[in-house]
Amino acid sequence: MQIVKADLEEDNLCDLIDREFNRYAGKYDIRVDYNDFCFVAKDDDKLMGIIVGHSYYKEVHITDLIVMEEYRGKGVGSALIRKAEQEFRGKGFENINLTTYAFQAPKFYEKMGFEVEHVRKSTDEKLTKYFLIKHLD
């Protein structure tokens, strides 16, 4: 056996991964329905912030939320979170989840209604990792 580093896009592995995830889940009568999402906030042509992630099974996972420094504290991050919630609410998804580090934004997400599910402590307190969830109705 040989193990080598691969490029998902260049080696056309994304389709294979999707096909195999769906095939395996199908054996258990589960639908994967994996979909990426991306929303951006703009001020004319200037990028203010971006939220990206994916939905699958019955959950939504936010992988990144970035607000440009000059727009922080002005409601951009909150608006992007609300847009993601609006996009998925009422469509059979049970929750939105994400992770963040202590130096990033755990308090912001709690203010947005997310609950801390788990905290993974680090020897560097700033790198303590928070796992958060917000249940959708």
CATH of domain 33-135: 3.40.630.30
All CATH 3.40.630.30 domain ranges of the chain, comma separated, are: 33-135
Among 18-22, 27-31, 99-103, the minimum mean pLDDT is found in 18-22
Percent of the chain that is helix, strand, coil (3-state, to 5): 30, 35, 35
Pairing state between β 115-120 and 59-67: unpaired
The one-letter amino acid code at 90 reads G
Burial of 1 (0-12, 13-18, 19+ CB in 10 A): exposed
Q: How confident is the model at residue 131 (pLDDT cuts 50, 70, 90)?
A: very high
pTM: 0.89
pLDDT in tens, 92-122: 999 999 999 999 999 999 999 999 999 999 9
Q: State the chain's mean pLDDT as an integer.
A: 94
Name residue, tokens 């998925």. Answer: 88
Hey, is 12 helix, strand or coil? coil
- Name, in order, each residue with C-beta under 8 angstroms of 105's C-beta and a sequence gap of 6 or more: 65, 77
At 65, is the pLDDT very low, low, confident or very high (cuts 50, 70, 90)?
Answer: very high
Q: Measured between alpha carbons, how far is 76 from 72 in angstroms, rounded to an integer?
A: 7
Residue showing tokens 């970035």: 66
Nearest-angstrom CA–CA distance, 69 and 120: 27
